[in-house]
A and B are shown apart, each in its own frame.
Chain A
Amino acid sequence: MLQGYDLGEYYDEMFEAPGVARPHYRKVMDGVGKLAPVEFEDRRQLADLAFLLQGITFTVYSDGRGTERLFPFDLIPRVLPRSQWDKLEAGLSQRVLALNLFLEDVYGAQRILKDKQIPRSLVLSCKHFQREMIGVKVARNIYTHISGIDLVRDSKTDEFLVLEDNCRTPSGISYVLENRLVMTRTFAKVFETCEVMPIDHYPMELINILRSLAPRGTSNPVVVLLTPGIYNSAYFEHSFLAQQMGIELVEGRDLVVDNEIVYMKTIRGLTRVDVIYRRIDDEFIDPLSFRRDSLLGVSGLMGAFRAGNVALANAIGNGVADDKAIYAYVPTFIKYYLGQDPILRNVDTYLCSKEDQLKYVLENLDKLVVKAVGESGGYGMLIGPAATKEKIEDFRAKLIEDPRNYIAQPVIGLSRCPAYDPRTGKMAGRHVDLRPYCLFNGEKVIIVPGGLTRVALEPGSLVVNSSQGGGSKDTWVLRGET
C-alpha cells in the first residue's frame, strides 16, 4: 500500500526517509503498510460499516430531513513515542492550570489586570467575557473541567506548537474512543504488538470529576448531561458520553428551575439535579440571562448556578480564555501564575488591535492566516497563500473596520501522515493536527494518552475541521519508544 509514497517537503509522521519508517512506526509498517490493496480495502469497508451501523455520524441539515454523514476515518494510525507524549502531557497540564487560574482571576480579584500583564480593554471587550460571572464562586474553583487543546507539528522545527485552546464545550472525544474500538477490531494483531497506552478510562475520570462538584453533601449526586438535542451535530457524542458515564442525557425541556433549584421531570414527579455537564453554549443556556429566543436552554439556570445550588461543567464565561487574541497571552499567564517557562510554544500571533501589528498584517495578507477571534470550527478564516484576490480584499476591509476581532499568524507547514485516498486507491501524505482532551479535577490535569488526530483529506489542504472536509485517525501513544 505504501509503495511509491511521496514524502513531500513536510515533516512526515510516519517516514524519516523514502521507504524508511520512523522507529515508532516500524510495527505499523510491518502490519498495515504491507497489506495488499484488496485486503486493505476490505478492512476499510468493514470499519465504515461499523461506524454506520452504530450511528456514529454527524448530521448535515441542508435538505430539511438531515443527512447523516460519516466522519471519515482513516485506518493508518497516528503514532507517538512515549517521550514525545510525556513532553506534550507536561506542557498541556501546565497550560490548563494557567488557563484555569486566569479564569478564576479574571472573574474574581482581577490581579492580572491590575498588574497590567494584559490590557484590561482586551479582556473586557471579549465577545465571550460574561459579566454575570464576576464574583460567582464555582465549585472547587474549577472552570475548565474539560479542555481540548489543538496542537500542530511545525515542519520547519519538527516541534509541536499550540494552535488554539478550546475551553468551552470541546467535542470529539467520542470519536477518539470509538476510533480506538474500531481500530482494535480491524487491526487486532498490529495493535497487540505495538503496546499502545489505553484510553478507555476517560468516561470514568470525567464522571469522578463531575460527581466531586455536587453542592449538596450527598453521597449519590444526580449528574446529567445537557444536550441541545438530536439536531445538534455532536448529538452522537452527547448520548455516547451519557451512556458511558451512566448519567441521564437531558434536554432543556426536561429541566425546570424552582426557587433556584434545578429539577428534572420524571414519570414520578420532579427530581433534584446537582451537576450539569452542559453541551449547550453560554448564549443559549438560559433565556432569562442570555439569548431570550433560546429554546434549548433552561430558564433560571444561571440563577441556580450563581446561588451555588447546581454545578456546571464547564463554567460559564470560559470563552474569554480561548479567545484567539487572549491566546497570545497564555505564555504570559504561565509565567505570571505558575512562575514557569512555557513547555509548549504558541504560534507567533499578530494582534490586529495593536496598530503596528495591524499594519504588518495588512501588508502581508497574502502570506498570513487570519482568524476571527471568537470563532471556531474553521469558520471566519483566511488562508492568505491559498486565497483569491477578492477574498483577501474582503478581509482587508473587515480588518480595518473591526481590528479587535482578528488575529493573524504565519502559515504553519503542518506535518503530514499517510492517509488513504479513495479516488486513487493509494496512500498520500495529508496534513494532520492533534487535539488532546484535558480533564482538570481541581488538583491535577488528567489527559488520556493521545487524543483526536484530525486529518485534512483534501490534497494540500490545511483545514482539518470535520465541517470542512476533515477526517480523523486513531492516535496511538506507545508505552515505549518503538
Chain B
Amino acid sequence: MPVPERMLSRIAESLFWMARYMERAEDTARILDVNYHMLLEQSQQTYRLRWEPLVNISGEQERFFQLFTLATTETVFQFLGFHEENPNSIAQCIYRARENARTIRDRISREMWQDINSLYHMVSRFRAEEEIAVGPHRFCSTIKFGSHRFHGVSDDTLPHDEGWQFLQLGRALERAEMTARIVDVEYHNLVESLMPDEKPDNHQWMAVLKSVAAYEIYRRQYHSHIDPERVAELLILHPQHPRSIRFNVATIQTSLRAITGSAPGYYINEAERLIGKLHQSLMYDRIEEIFERGLHNFLTDLQKTCREIGYQIARTYFYY
C-alpha cells in the first residue's frame, strides 16, 4: 500500500467548513419549513409570537431587527432564506459551501463538485419574492434534499480518509450546536414562558420534533402524548437518532480518533480531551439530572464546549 499523503491544512479546513455550511443551510431550511406549516393552523395571535424564536435559533436577532421591524412569515423567510446581509441565510450558506468546494475542487470528486455546483446554481435561480408568495416548502425541500444528496455523493465518491473525517467533523459539530439551540430556544418559548394555567401546545412540540426529523422516532419510543421532558431527552441523549446531541458528539469523537489514532480513553490534543469528557457525561447523564441542574445552563455550557472544540480543531490542524 502506498504511504498516505499528508493533507494540506487549508484543504482540511475547507472540507470542514463546506460541511458546516451545508448543514447550517439544511437545519435552517428544516426549521423554516416545519414551522411555517405548523403556524398555518394557528390563530393569528400565536402566529406572530412564533416567528421570533426562529430568528433566535439562528442566533441573528440583532441583525434581523436592524433590517426589519416585525418578525412575520415574509420577513423571517426573507431573512433566513435569502438575505444577503445575513451571513447565515440559506442562500449565503450554500454560496459559501460552494466557495469552499471551489477552493478544493481538485481534491474532491468530480461528482461532488458538480453536485454542489448545480445546487448553487439552482439556489441562485430562486427569487425571494416568488418563493415568499408560494411559501417556503418548495425552496426548503430543495435545500434539504440537496444536503442529503451532498452527503450521499461524498460518502460514495470520496475515499474515507482524513479529509472525509473533517467533513464529518464539520457536519456533526454544526448539528450538535444547532440541536442544542433548538431545544434551548423552544423549551424557553414553549414551557418556561407559559402562564400558570396554560398547557404546553402539542402542535408546537410536534413541529420541534419534525424539524429535526425526530417525530416518528418519538412516537415509536414513547407511545405517549408529547411531553417536553421526553422531547428534550430524545434530542439530547438519544444514542442513535442522527440529530441528537449525543449522537453527534459520538461522531465527533470517532472522527477525531480516526485522525489522531488515539485509543479509547486516551487523547493527544485538547479537542479530543474535551469531546471525550462531553461524550462521557452524555452517555451517563439522565434527563432528570440535567433538569435538576437547569436545562438552559446545561445547553449554554454545551454550546460553549462545542465552540471551544471547533477552536481547538482549528488551532491543532489549520493554524498552528
Contact = CB atoms under 8 A, between A and B. Distances in A.
A242 B118 contact: no
Given A230-B102, A240-B106, A53 B7 contact: no
A257 to B, nearest CB: 16
Contact of B103 (A230, A240, A264): A230
- 3 tightest Cβ-Cβ pairs between the two chains A and B: A266-B6, A243-B106, A239-B106
Nearest to B102: A230
A229 B6 CA distance: 21
Given A54-B117, A240-B106, A266 B99 contact: no
A55 B259 contact: no
A254 B117 contact: no
B10 A254 contact: yes
B10 A53 contact: no
Interface in B1-58: 5-10, 12
B317 interface: yes
Given A230-B103, A239-B105, A267-B259, A53 B118 contact: yes
Contacts of A269: 6, 320
Contacts of B105: 55, 239, 243
Given A53-B117, A54-B117, A55-B113, A267 B7 contact: yes
Q: Is the interface of B mostly helix, strand, loop or mixed?
A: helix
A249 interface: yes
Contact of B8 (A230, A239, A250): A250
Given A248-B8, A254-B9, 12 more contacts: A53-B114, A54-B110, A55-B105, A55-B113, A55-B114, A243-B105, A248-B5, A250-B8, A266-B8, A267-B6, A267-B8, A269-B6
Size band of the B side of the interface?
Answer: 20 to 34
B307 interface: no
Contacts of A267: 6-9, 12, 162, 259, 317-318
Determine the interface band of chain A, counting residues with CB < 8 A from chain B.
20 to 34
A243 B320 CA distance: 27
Contacts of B320: 265, 269
B106 A230 contact: no
With most chain B CB atoms within 10 A of its CB, the pick from A229, A249, A253 is: A249
Given A55-B113, A229-B103, A239-B105, A266 B121 contact: no
Interface in A329-376: none
Given A53-B117, A54-B114, A265 B106 contact: no
A268 interface: yes
Contacts of B102: 55, 230, 235, 239
A240 B114 CA distance: 13
A269 to B, nearest CB: 8
Contacts of A52: 121
A254 B320 CA distance: 12
Interface in A222-254: 229-230, 235, 239-240, 242-243, 248-251, 253-254
B37 to A, nearest CB: 32
B104 to A, nearest CB: 8
B8 A254 contact: yes
Contact of A249 (B6, B9, B106, B118): B106
Contacts of B103: 229-230
30 contacts: A52-B121, A53-B118, A54-B113, A54-B114, A54-B117, A55-B113, A55-B117, A229-B103, A230-B102, A235-B102, A239-B106, A240-B106, A242-B106, A243-B105, A243-B107, A249-B104, A249-B107, A250-B8, A251-B10, A254-B8, A254-B10, A265-B8, A265-B9, A265-B10, A266-B8, A267-B7, A267-B259, A267-B318, A268-B6, A269-B320
Contacts of B7: 266-268
